[in-house]
Every structure is written in structure tokens, then in C-alpha cells.
A and B are shown apart, each in its own frame.
Chain A
């Protein structure tokens, strides 16, 4: 096959932006794209489930729900209705490290978004009724997305073991007991501490003009008070704590194996090598795992591998779902051999180039929407304090050599740095 390769420079197009800080510490990023008459706002608060206290799990996410329940000038459920009446879409998400809120509207409605987001950044009104209502909604969310779903407990079970007694020990949905005991006072305190301009970034992306957008953001946000909350110290993440292996019985028909190797955080130099390794291992039907256990041996129905990176430490996940009669122990042994092959045998130039081409395609695709770009900009600011990384992201991958990858595999993809979960169907009573 003859293909002219792109060398170490990607062809992804440059994203222009402007950024500045307000006096209260709010960071603002503006990206102009006038292709379509629409604009997105994306507000990231640097708070997530890793900031919860033990016994208060699920709180950051429950709080995200409260942010739609009204502030000084906006009543219950009105946040949604204002945006939808303006012809827009709206949502929020919570992960381990950040909580984000985003809306996309026709661009003549830009100012409405600034009004809504600045009002709830400064004057959220948390009432007992609304708190109780959203607690029930979140409990149903937990049942619908985790408890009543085959294999739904896997990531919670995984985190509990990989990060035992460390940051990230639980997932954002939290536990039913903690949700039941969550109280209003804690919510108000949580808001004061974390929901403030000095713990947030506001991104406007889309059909804007820079000078006008800057003026409007300043108008709505410059009067808000910073919280001045001291940055929390997170304990150091420890590696190689010995292999842990457990069987989980679930309401499932097919057995499955999940393996997680502990890896460093989002900003680590090794993260690109690990991402590329996961692609060679388990991305697509030509990957090492698929070729071996699904295609040749026919011992698994499906398989894959991916990096789940958090700010301070994450997981390199390898998984496979078996057939009804698959023996999980031998499937796990096969997978382990394939993972080990990464450090023992050479990563071929062809494999490396394939993974890099795939990254380039994915990055290009993620820049298709104004909201996609806003999220990327917020991400590079929040974790790297370097927004312009959006323009070097693809090149950072292209620079990785097979030597770097083998080194990363040797360091992290070892037996005593992993947790293995074997999911078996519940025995018939």
C-alpha cells in the first residue's frame, strides 16, 4: 500500500480564540465561527466528585441538578424554559473533576445565556422542596443508568478497588445511602465554596464578534464576587499496589471481563503513549485484541480498550464480553498475554501510523460543532492552563515514538498495577 504520510505535522485546522481574566478571577475564552447563526456557552466549574467528602458521595452531581432549580431572578424550571423558548438546547454534566453547563441558541439570543449563567453563578436559591424533588430524580437516574442495567455496576466496582482509600474511590452518581442523607445545608455550603467566578471558565463559541462578546461577558459577570476558596490538596496517587481480582455476580446472560491498569493524570507526558497503546490494543476490527480473541479464537463476542483519564490519575481499561460458555479465566489469560505483548514485541510502524491517523480523524471530527470546540477549549484551560493546546493536540500524538510507548507499557501495564473484575451470571436459584 502506498500512502504519503503527513510526517510529524497534522493537517487539522487552527482554532483561533481570544481569552482574558476578569478581576474576580473568571477566565473567559471567546471563539468566533460565523459559519452558522448559532452560539454556544459552556461554563466549567472546577469541581467534581473527587471534591466530595466520604459519606457525601453523589453530591457534586446532585448539585448539578440544583443548578436548574432557580436563582434570584429565575424560577424553578425556568432556566430550561427560557432557553427552549429562545430555540436552544441546554444540559449539564458532572464527572470526577469538573461540572459543566452548556447551552446552544440562535446567535441573536446570546445575551440571554449570559444573563442565565451569571444569575446562577451568583444567586442560586436552593429550597427544601426542590432539593427533595431532585434527590428523587437523581435516585431514578441511578436506577435507570446503573442499578437496573446489565453490567451497570462495573465502573463503580472498578473505581472502588483501583483507588481504594484514595481520590476517585467512587463515581459521580454516588451511593443510595449518601443520596438519602444529603441535606440542604451541605448544598448551600457546597455552592458557596465551589460555584464562583474564580473557580470557573466561561467559553463562548460560535457566531459572535469579539469586541461585542467581550463587552457583554464583562457586563454580566464582572460584578460577581469571588469565593476565594483555597485549592484542596489531593493525596498522591500510588501505583503498583498489587493485583486485585474479584468475581461479581450480576443479572446478565454473558460473562465479561474488565481489567483496569492504573495510570497517571490527564496532564502527564505519558498519556499520549497510553492512548495510542489502547488504540493498537483494542480500537477497531484490526486491533490486536479483536484479531486474536474475537476473530481467530472466537472466545469473545466483543472486546475493546480505552483510556479513562482523570485530572490526577486514571485507568487504562481492557474489556471483553464472552459467549455463554466462555471460560473467563482462560479469556483473561489470553487478554493478559496480548497486553504483555505490547512491552515485549515491537509496536510496528504500521500500527503506530494507523493509531495516529485515527487520532487525527477523531480530533478533526470533534471540531465540527461550536459546542465541541467550546468543550475542548474549556478542557485545555481547566487542566493545563494552556488553551492553545487545542492547536497542538494532534501534533502531541504524532510526536510519540514506539520507544515511548513501550516504556509506558512497561511502567503501567503490569500485573501488580491492575484490578481484574470477572462478571458472571448470577447462579440460578
Chain B
């Protein structure tokens, strides 16, 4: 044995990478999908690898988009669900869930509100008792409301020293104008202070409805068990769906581009920057072409933007670009933290890359690399039951076809370089950029003027200078 191995080592040619074996077939896992008479959409993603179960509830049309001027309402309503019911106090809920080593969380984003439970299978019945109670019987007590409000106000305060948080808030504000996405989902000091118990109760009554519910069971559980649980706990639940309010979708041309907005953070040793414009919605038919194009541009470690700013120039620990896709078009942006002295140079390099991607076809080498990358990591992204469940839930939330992920790999492989160029031309607009930075205005303001009129704000978003 030893001799054979030594002989192998001598013959081993290290100058070329080994040839891969034949690729294995990748299948998106099968799942169960049904809508019950009461309107609840039940999904079961069974996977018996570990003796654990997650139960994930998604309420569509219940996200921050529906705050209707009361910024933070969706988010606080979701948070309050686990803070007391007709049957249990907040402390009892925490005790029961912590005792079985489980996790019970609730929250919201722009597109929906969420409640999720994860635990070992052997504790499922106890967990479901609590879960059903918080979803069906929340009481929104004044005492808990005052706690949650005070916590939220402190979080907002804390965010005023967080570079990324300051940039995000300003970026959304200048980019989205009067659209709901312009306002912070966590709320503002003013909006949080003005909300009353009735607001939470109303939001709950009108947005937490069986007709809007996607209820996914994930892991060590069969569809029979899942259906039994739903029939047992949620079958008597009814609600009246409300009409969705009209939605204005803002187009790029609605906004005035080529401005620079700096949130001043005196003494900051880095600039946190975001450069971008309006992007696309999740169900945009060009989504996959846009994904491939963006990956080449700034979507993975080997991307043009990261290579240029990090590996070539050493300006940053990492730079990336991305389309933030939601039900309505979100933003496209490039972001990076760079040291003060190279803030303007970094923005110039980013703009150069944006211009390059819309003018020239990508190279064969980078196109093939990214195709391989995206199709290769696909099975990695399906390793856990929860990762699969997130994708299945998104299919339902964004009304994508059931076979979307079955044809995902072939959709990527079917793209041409012309498709990538077309996607770039259509969705990247280097001439219409919003540039937002949080950093030390004194150190960077002057040099940023070459990109457009500069405005400087304090951490509260109040304008304090500029030209």
C-alpha cells in the first residue's frame, strides 16, 4: 500500500486542477401544497434528517407596506403577539417555550408578517399550544405596549451611531420619495409615540386573516400530522379580507438623480456608502438574467466590483451590489465601507464598473464562472429543510410558478451574453444615481462635489449644510 501511494505522489501532477467527476442530478425537493376551505395555504416540506420541526406562518398583505403612515405599526403588532394572550402572560409564554428549548419569534418585513416556532419533534404539542394561542388570542395589554415602545424608541436612538443604519435610512428616503418604502419599517420617534392600543388591535384584526396565511410545516413531520394540527387549532378561525389599497409604483424618472447626500458622523474612520437607484420587483420576468448580471457585477466574492475595490486596490474589506427585490420594485445599490481618503475614488471606480457592464458584453470566462457558480451552489442552498422552506414560501408569497425551481438551473444555462447585456442596459442606470454616505462630512464633502450637488444631514435626517 505504501509503495503504491509513494508512486502516486511522484506521478501526481499538481500543475493542473483535477478533472471533476460527472455532476449529480439536482432535484428541488418535493413538497405538499394545499389550500383548506377556510383559506389557509398549508405547505409541508418533510425532511427527517434531524428530529426537529419548524412551523412558519406568513401573513401576506400584513407587512410594513400597510403601515399607512403609522410607521412601525406592522412591526410592533407582530412583536406584541408573543407578549400576552387571553390565556398566557408574556412571562408564561417565554417560560413554556424556553423550557422545551424551543424558539418562538415574530416579526415583519415589507411584504408580510411572520411567526415562527422551531423545536425538537418530541416537544411539538406543547409548542403548538403556545403558537396557536399567540396567533389567535393576542391581547395587546397597555403594560406590554409601553415596554415594547420604550425598547423600540431606544433601538431607534441606538441606530443613530450605526453607520449602515444611517445610510440605509437616508438612501430609502431620497430614493423612494412618498412611496411607503421611503419610511423606516421600525418606525420613527414620532410615529411610535403617537400609536395607541387601538392601532395594534385594528391592524391585527384587519391583516391577520386565515385567507392571507401561508402555514408551512418543515422537517420531521408528515402532511397527515400537519393537516391534523391545522384542523385542530385553526379551523374555527375566520376573518373578513379587506380590499388592498391602491399602490403607486414609482419609476426611476419620478425622482431627481445625481445627488450626493451625506449623513454626518464626525470623527468616523470610514465612509459607509450606497450608490444606486430603483430596481425590480421579485416577480420581474427578467429576474434570473438580472441575478446573473448582478453576480458578475458585484454579487459574489469574485465579482468585478469586489475584485477592483478590495483585491486590486485594498480600499475595503468588501464591496457588493444587489437588487433588493420585494412585491413592488425595491432598490438596486452598490455598497461598501471604505476609508475616508478613498471615498470619492471608490465611488468613481463603482461608476466605471456600472458603465462597463451596460456597454460591453461580459467575457466568456466570467460568464461561464458565474453560471457554474450559481448552478453549483444551488444544491448547497437546499441543504436544510428550512432553506428549502424559505424558497417554497417565496414562490407562494410572490406568485411564482410551482416549477420555478425545477427549471432554475436550465434557465440559467439557457442565458446568452446578449441577455446579460440587455438586462444591464435595462436595469442599470449609471446616469441616474443616488449617492448616499454616512461618514465624516468634513473629511469627504469637498471631494464629493464632483458627483453632483452635496447635502449634509445630522443623524436625525435634518439638513445642516451642503451647497
Question: Which A residues fall within an 8 A CB radius of B?
Answer: 1, 3, 6, 11, 13, 35-38, 72-73, 76-77, 80-82, 84-90, 104-112, 114-116, 118-119, 132-141, 143-145, 147-150, 207, 218-220, 222-223, 251-254, 283-287, 290-291, 295, 298, 301-302, 321, 323-324, 350, 353-354, 356-362, 364-365, 367-370
Residues of chain B within 8 A (CB-CB) of A141 are 317
Specify which chain A residues have a CB less than 8 angstroms from the CB of B50 in the assembled complex: 13, 364-365, 367-368
- Taking a contact as CB atoms under 8 Å apart, the answer to whether B317 and A324 are in contact is no
CB distance from A83 to the nearest CB of B (A): 9
| Nearest Cβ on chain B to A365's Cβ, whole angstroms | 7
State which residues 160-202 of B face A: CB under 8 Å: 160-163
14 A-B pairs (CB sep. < 8 Å): A36-B383, A82-B17, A86-B372, A86-B376, A105-B376, A106-B24, A108-B23, A143-B269, A252-B158, A286-B97, A287-B98, A364-B52, A365-B50, A370-B383
Q: Tell me, in angstroms, the Cα distance from A87 to B373 when the chains sit together.
A: 4
B234 at the interface (CB under 8 A from A): no
Q: Are A35 and B49 in contact (CB under 8 A)?
A: yes
What is the bound-complex CA distance between A174 and B8, given in angstroms?
A: 42
B48 to chain A, nearest CB (A): 10
With a cutoff of 8 Å between Cβ atoms, the chain B residues found around residue A302 in the complex are 151
B301 touching A84, Cβ below 8 Å: yes
B12 touches A81 (CB 8 A): no
- Inter-subunit contact A87/B372 (CB<8 Å): yes
Q: Distance (Å) between the CB of B38 and the closest chain A CB?
A: 30
Residues of A near B317 (CB, < 8 A) are 137-138, 140-141, 144-145
Pick the contact of A368: B49, B154, B155, B163 (CB < 8 A). Answer: B49
Query: A365 CA to B38 CA in the complex, in Å?
Result: 34
A87, A115, A254 — most chain B CB neighbours (10 Å)? A87
Residues of the B chain whose Cβ atoms lie less than 8 Å from the Cβ of A285? 90-91, 94, 98
Query: Which A residues lie within 8 Å of B374 (CB)?
Result: 87
When chains A and B are docked, how far (Å) is the Cα of A354 from the Cα of B97?
9
Q: Is the CB of B314 within 8 A of A137?
A: yes
A365 touches B311 (CB 8 A): no
Give the distance to chain B from A286, nearest Cβ to Cβ, in Å: 4
Alpha-carbon distance A367/B383, docked complex (angstroms): 12
Q: Which 9 A-B pairs have the closest CB atoms?
A: A87-B376, A136-B314, A357-B101, A361-B101, A285-B94, A37-B24, A223-B9, A108-B21, A111-B18
B115 CB, nearest partner CB in chain A, Å? 15
Within 8 A of A (CB), among B96-124: 96-103, 118-120, 122-123
User: Are A36 and B379 interface neighbours, CB within 8 A?
Assistant: yes
Asked whether any CB of chain A lies closer than 8 Å to the CB of B415, the reply is: no
B301 touches A358 (CB 8 A): no
Residues of chain B contacted by A77 (CB below 8 angstroms):
302, 307, 311
- CB <8 Å contact, A361 and B120: yes
Contact: A108 with B99, CB < 8 Å? no
Contact residues in B for A81 (Cβ distance below 8 Å): 302, 369
Known: A86-B372, A324-B154. A357 touches B100 (CB 8 A): yes
Instruction: Count how many pairs of residues, one from A and one from B, have CB atoms less than 8 Å apart in the complex.
Output: 238
Residues of chain A within 8 A of B51, CB atoms compared? 11, 13, 364
Q: B373 contacts A84, CB within 8 Å?
A: yes
CA distance A86 to B17 in the complex (A): 11
- Whether the pair A144, B383 counts as a contact (CB closer than 8 A) is no
Residues of B within 8 A of A253 (CB): 157-158, 160-161
Q: Does chain A have a CB within 8 A of B86?
A: no
Q: Are B98 and A147 in contact (CB under 8 A)?
A: no
B residues 294-324 near A (Cβ < 8 Å) are 300-302, 307, 310-317
User: How many whole Å from B163's CB to the nearest CB in chain A?
Assistant: 6
B311 and A150 contacting across the interface, CB-CB below 8 Å: no
Closest chain B residue to A107, Cβ basis: B24
B326 contacts chain A at the CB level, 8 A cutoff: no
Partner of B52, one of A1, A145, A321, A361: A361
Residue numbers of B with Cβ under 8 A of A are 5-6, 8-9, 12, 14-18, 20-26, 49-52, 90-91, 94-103, 118-120, 122-123, 126, 147, 150-151, 154-155, 157-158, 160-163, 265, 267-270, 272, 300-302, 307, 310-317, 337-339, 368-369, 372-380, 382-384
Residues of A within 8 A of B338 (CB): 140
Cβ contact within 8 Å between A88 and B377: yes
Alpha-carbon distance A82/B265, docked complex (angstroms):
40
Are A150 and B98 in contact, CB atoms less than 8 angstroms apart? Answer: no
CB distance from A65 to the nearest CB of B (A): 10
Q: Do the beta carbons of B18 and A115 come within 8 Å of each other? A: yes
Q: How far is the CA of A236 from the CA of B381 in the complex (A)?
A: 44
Residues of A within 8 A of B103 (CB): 361
- Determine if B91 and A295 form an interchain contact, defined as CB atoms under 8 angstroms apart: yes
Q: Tell me if B20 and A360 are in contact (CB < 8 A).
A: no
B6, B8, B269: which contacts A148 (Cβ < 8 A)? B269
Write the chain A residue with the least CB distance to B267. A251
Across-interface contacts of B123 in A (CB, < 8 A)? 3, 357
**A254 and B158: CB pair below 8 A?**
yes
Contacts of B52 in A (CB 8 A): 361, 364-365
- Report the Cα distance A266→B94, complex, angstroms: 30
A305 to chain B, nearest CB (A): 14
Of all chain B residues, the one with the shortest Cβ separation from A284 is: B98
Measured CB to CB, the nearest residue on chain A to B125 is A3
A298 and B17: CB pair below 8 A?
Answer: no
Among B50, B267, B373, B380, find the residue whose CB has the most chain A CB atoms closer than 10 A.
B380
Query: Would A89 and B380 count as touching, CB distance under 8 A?
Result: yes
Contact A3 B100 (CB under 8 A): yes
Asked whether, in the complex, the Cβ of A76 is within 8 Å of the Cβ of B162, the reply is no
Q: Determine whether the beta carbon of B377 is less than 8 Å from that of A37.
A: no
8 Å CB contact of A115 from B17, B91, B120, B151: B17
Q: Is the CB of B95 within 8 A of A286?
A: yes
C-alpha gap A80/B310 in the complex (Å): 14
A358 and B101 within 8 A (CB): yes
**Is the pair B377, A87 in contact by a Cβ cutoff of 8 Å?**
yes
With A87-B373, A253-B161 already in contact, 4 other A-B pairs whose C-beta atoms are closer than 8 Å: A140-B338, A140-B339, A284-B98, A286-B97
Within 8 Å CB of A353, what residues of B? 99
Q: How far apart are the CA atoms of A414 and B146 in the complex, in Å? A: 36
Residues of chain B with a CB closer than 8 A to A115's CB = 14, 17-18
Contact B94 A286 (CB under 8 A): yes
**Shortest distance between the CB of A311 and any CB in chain B (Å):** 27
Question: What's the Cα separation between A13 and B49 when bound, in Å?
Answer: 9
Q: How far, in whole Å, are A316 and B187 apart by their CA atoms in the complex?
A: 35
- Kindly report which residue of chain A lies nearest to residue B337, judged by CB atoms: A144
Closest B residue by C-beta to A287: B98
Residue of A nearest to B156 (CB): A253
Contact B91 A86 (CB under 8 A): no
CA of A367 to CA of B99 in the docked complex: distance in angstroms? Answer: 21
Q: How far is the CA of A364 from the CA of B123 in the complex (A)?
A: 14
Tell me if A251 and B95 are in contact (CB < 8 A): no
A293 to chain B, nearest CB (A): 13
Known: A38-B380, A108-B20, A253-B157. A73 touches B14 (CB 8 A): yes
A residues in contact with B272, CB < 8 Å: 148
Given A77-B307, A106-B24, A219-B12: A143 touches B154 (CB 8 Å cut-off): no
Interchain CB contact under 8 A, B147 and A298: yes
